[in-house]
Structure 1
Amino acid sequence: MQVTETLNEGLKRGYAITVTAAELEAKVNEKLTEAQPEIEMKGFRKGKVPMALLKKQFGQRVLGEAMQEAIDGAMNEHFEKSGDRPAAQPEVKMTNDDWKEGDDVAVEMTYEKLPEIPEVDLSGVKLEKLVVKADDEQVNETLESLAKNAQDFDAREEGAAAEDGDQIVFDFLGKVDGEAFEGGAAEDYPMVLGSNSFIPGFEEQLVGVKAGEEKDVTVSFPEEYGAEHLAGKEAVFECKIKEVKAPKAAEIDDELAKKYGAEDLEGLKTQIRERLEADYANTARQVTKRKLLDALDGLVSFDLPPSLVEAEAKQIAHQLWHEDNPEVQGHDHGEIETTEEHTKLAERRVRLGLLLAEIGNKAEVEVTDQEMTQAVMAQARQYPGQERQFFEFIQQNPQMQQQLRAPIFEDKVVDHIVDQAEVTEKEISKDELKEAVDALEEEIA
């Protein structure tokens, strides 16, 4: 087997690989000899089929396998010796198109290799960790929101008209073309006006009703309504109003706390404070991460595989185009041209991606099975009722697994770098944190 370099330009590499006919024949004989003991054929006992007959019967198929194995072996041996790591799957093609059995096999392999990543002294990286404490005002605002969500309803004065936001308790009977339909009736049904829990246009017609009144509500089912026999049809609902109730926020006390799983009000306040500060910490971490990436980007410089930059630039252009054209849901649109700005951003992403991967690999950072399972479960929640199918899809799709693993790996590498960097804490307000986040978004835009 011969391997000859044909291209060495930047990160681009090309090699001519020749597998001799003798090497192929030897590999075919080896594979047939290995399989011979298990082969049965009419007129011969198991394992006693002559080699000449085996070649005639299975030679062509085994030859193809031997050829592929020989080429794969030559590629693997080359990468082991050279230390090259291809940026993507190498392109391999036969160059002697008129090949016939008995000829040498000539193959051309081209690829872009990953660059050598320079060492980075992480101890020299200086970062600022933003810390936001939840004050009493923020805790009280959250308490009031929780109380509103836990609201109850008290009966209004006799003769009071229902207002938007009130709860009415009523009986109703729905009819289409004068005939009642299945699922169109209920008794003592509680409904909050303005909750949009009924067919569009239904609740608005009951604003102003009073307890004891009867009222017919006429609406049309949406064209895309789930029940085909009702879709697009006009319906009349005979409504008998029994009660009209006004909303009443729950008292902010120990009873409210117990509704939300706390022992008492002070315990609920502690939970709220911890949750708010955890949310602030997650947001602040994104700011710190961006500052870290900016610092790393300024510390290193190395050649980038053009194919990776081009692919990333196209993805960026595609994503931004859809953000500017949200009405286009599919991907059957024309080709989207990449700009210099897309390419510049792509170069940054590829450079930082390669650097973080190198740092992570040297630090032996790994994504655990438990972390992957949690990531899959988080994604699966977006498909209620289809969780099992989603899990199976992920298990059978290595590319999707990598898409889920990549951000987890990146975050763990960032944590590793932060642990080694010089970090100072700075306490700021919630508004100042928002300003820092807005500033980052403006830079990205």
Structure 2
Amino acid sequence: MQVTETLNEGLKRGYQIKLTAAELEEKVNEKLLEAQPEVQMKGFRKGKVPMALLKKQFGPRVLGEAMQESVDGAMNKHFEESGDRPALQPEVKMTNEDWKEGDDVEVSLEYEALPEIPEVDLKSIKLEKLVAKADDADIDEALNNLAENAQNFEDRRKGSKAKDGDQVVIDFVGKVDGEAFEGGTAEDYPLVLGSGSFIPGFEEQLVGVKVDEEKEVKVTFPEQYQAENLAGKEAVFECKVKAVKAPKAAEIDDELATKFGAEDLDALKKQVAERLESEYAGASRAVLKRKLLDALDEKVSFDLPPSLVKAEADQIAHQLWHEENPDHQGHDHDKIEPSDEHNKLAERRVRLGLLLAELGRKNEIEVTDQEMTQAVMNQARQYPGQERQFFEFIQQNQQMQQQLRAPIFEDKVVDYVFELAEIEEKEVNKDDLKSAVDALDDE
């Protein structure tokens, strides 16, 4: 077998692989001899089928297998000897398309090699870590939010009109074309105006009603309504208002604490403080990670595989376009051309991605089976009742496994660098930490 270099420009590599007809025939004979003891054919005992008959019967199929194995073997040997690691799946194609049995096989191999990643003195990296503690004001603010979420409703003064945010208790009968429809009737139904729990246009028409008032609410069901017999239909709801209630925040006391699973108010305050500090720690880590990536980006410079940069830039441009055009759900749009800003961001991401991958490889950092299982379980919780199907989907989908594994791997490498870097803590308040987090989105 002959391997000839045809391209060596930057990170681009090209080779011509030639497998002679004699080598291919020898490989076919080896595979047939290996299979011969197990072959049964009419008129012959098991393992006694002549080689000529085996070649006639199975030769074409074995020939294809032998060709593929030989080319794969040549590629693997090349990568072992050269030390190259392809950035993406190599492009392999047969160049003598008019090939027939008895001819030599000629194959071209092209790929972009991963660059040599320079060593980085991780101990020379200096970072500042923002540390925020939950003070009494933060805890009180969180408790007030909990009290508002646990709000009660109290009857308004007789004759008061319902306002947005109020709760109205109503009896109603819904009719389409004058006929009541199934599921359109209820008594003593508590509806919070502005909650969006009813179809569009319903709640707005009840703003201003009073107790004992009767009101006809006219609406049109959405075209995509879940009940097909009602989709797009005009309906009239005959409503009788039985109560108008104003929202009232719950008292911050032991009773509120029990609603949120705490023994008493002091226990709830402790839980709130722990949750806040956990949130602050997460925010602090996000800021520190960005500072680390900025520091690493300044310390390294190396050639980047053009294909990786292009793929990343295309993805960035496509994602940002959809964020700017949220009403366009599908992908039936014109090709989104990356801007210079997209390309610059793609170069940074690819450079840092390759650097972190190399740090992880050299330091034998791996994602454990337990960590993967936990990640899958966390994702599966988003599909209640379908956890088993989700697990099976992940098991059969290598791309999804990689999407789950990648952020875990990155965080483990980042943690490894944090251990070596020089990190100085700086105490800040919640607002300063929030400003630092907001600044991440602006960059």
TM-score by length of 2: 0.93
Change (3 A) 1:287 1:61: same
Query: 1:174 corresponds to which residue?
Result: 174
Partner Cα separation in structure 2 for residue 44 and residue 384 of structure 1: 59
C-alpha change, 1:311 and 1:165, in structure 2 (3 Å) is closer
Establish whether residue 309 from structure 1 lines up as the match of residue 318 from structure 2: no
What residue in structure 2 maps to residue 362 of structure 1?
Answer: 362
Q: Counterpart of 2:127 in structure 1: which amino acid?
A: L
Deviation at residue 408 of structure 1 after TM alignment: 1.3
Q: Distance in 2 between matches of 1:309 and 1:131?
A: 36
Question: What's the CA shift for 1:383?
Answer: 4.8
**For residue 325 of structure 1, what is the aligned residue in structure 2?**
325
1:135-214 equivalences in 2 (<5 Å): 135-214=135-214
Residues 259-307 of structure 1: per-residue CA shift (max 9 Å, x gap): 1111111111111122112112212211111111111111122222222
Q: Identity, % of aligned pairs?
A: 77
For the structure 1 residues 415 and 57, does the alpha-carbon distance in structure 2 shift closer, same or farther, using more than 3 Å as the test? same
Q: CA deviation at 1:22?
A: 2.0
2-structure distance, mates of 1:170, 1:341: 56
Q: How does 1:238-387 map to 2 (within 5 A)?
A: 238-383=238-383, 386-387=386-387
Which secondary structure state, in structure 2, belongs to the residue aligned with residue 87 of structure 1? Answer: coil
Q: Which runs of 4+ in 1 moved over 6 A?
A: none
Number of the residue aligned with 2:98:
98
Structure 1, 23-32 or 40-49: larger mean CA deviation: 40-49
After superposition, give the CA deviation of every residue in 1:24-47 in whole Å (9 maximum; x if it has no partner): 112111111222222222222222
Q: Please state how far the C-alpha of 1:374 moved relative to its aligned partner.
A: 3.2
| Structure-to-structure mapping, 1:75-86, within 5 angstroms | 75-86=75-86
Q: Measured at CA, do residues 361 and 168 of structure 1 come closer, stay the same or move farther in structure 2, by a change above 3 Å?
A: same
Change in 2 beyond 3 A, CA 1:176/1:98: closer
How big is the shift at 1:195? 1.9
Structure 1 residues 229-257: Cα deviation after superposition (integer angstroms, max 9, x where no partner):
22232323233333333322211001111
Unaligned runs of 5+ residues in structure 1 are: none
Partner SS, residue 365 of structure 1: coil
> Using the alignment, how far apart are the partners of 2:192 and 2:339 within structure 1?
52
Deviation of 1:166 after TM superposition, in Å, equals 2.6
Map of 2:215 onto structure 1: 215
Q: Distance in 2 between matches of 1:32 and 1:111?
A: 33
Deviation at 1:397, TM superposition (A): 1.9
1:33-52 to structure 2, matched below 5 A, reads 33-52=33-52
Deviates more, 1:16-25 or 1:354-363: 16-25
In the alignment of these two chains, the number of paired residues is 443
- Matched residue type, 2:45: R
For 1:278 and 1:271, locate their aligned partners in 2 and report how far apart those are by CA, in whole Å.
Answer: 11
Query: Match for 2:401: what amino acid?
Result: Q
Could you give the per-residue CA deviations for residues 215-236 of structure 1, whole angstroms, max 9, x where no partner exists? 3333332232221222232323
Q: Could you tell me how far 1:314 is from its partner in structure 2?
A: 2.1
- For residues 179-238 of structure 1, the C-alpha deviation after alignment (integer angstroms, 9 at most, x for no partner) is 221111122222222222222232233334444444333333223222122223232323
Q: What residue in structure 2 maps to residue 117 of structure 1?
A: 117
Equivalent in the alignment of 1:59: 59
Cα deviation, residue 157, structure 1: 4.1
CA distance in 2, matches of 1:237, 1:341: 54
The answer for the alignment partner of 1:68 in structure 2 is 68
CA distance in 2, matches of 1:219, 1:20: 78
Residue 149 of structure 1 aligns with an amino acid whose one-letter code is N
Aligned-partner Cα distance in 2 for 1:3–1:409: 36
Change (3 A) 1:440 1:165: closer
The answer to which of 306-315 and 201-210 deviates more is 201-210
How far apart are the structure 2 equivalents of 1:273 and 1:10?
55
Residues 390-434 of structure 1, C-alpha deviation per residue, up to 9 Å, x if partnerless? 433322221222122111111111111001100000011222223
Residue in structure 2 matched with residue 107 of structure 1 by the alignment: 107
RMSD over aligned Cα atoms: 2.1
1:437 Cα offset (Å): 2.7
Output the amino acid matched with 2:229. Answer: H
Distance verdict in 2 for CA 1:339–1:147, change over 3 Å: closer
**Counterpart check, 1:428 vs 2:436:** no
CA distance in 1, matches of 2:295, 2:175: 68
* Distance (whole Å) between structure 2 residues aligned to residue 225 and residue 123 of structure 1: 60
SS in 2 for 1:84: coil
Structure-2 separation of matches of 1:286 and 1:384: 29
The letter of the residue matching 1:222 is: P
Deviation per CA, 1:1-35: give whole Å up to 9, x if none: 22222322222222222222222112111111222
Gaps of 5+ in 2: none
Larger mean Cα displacement after TM superposition, 381-390 or 116-125? 381-390
Deviates more, 1:168-177 or 1:86-95: 168-177
Aligned in 2, Cα 1:302/1:254: closer, same or farther, shift over 3 Å? same
TM-score normalised to structure 1 length: 0.93
- Farther off after superposition, 253-262 or 236-245: 236-245
Which residue identity does 2:136 align to in structure 1? Answer: D
Taking structure 1 as reference, are residues 217 and 343 closer, same or farther at Cα in structure 2, changes over 3 Å only?
closer
| CA shift for structure 1 position 315 | 2.0
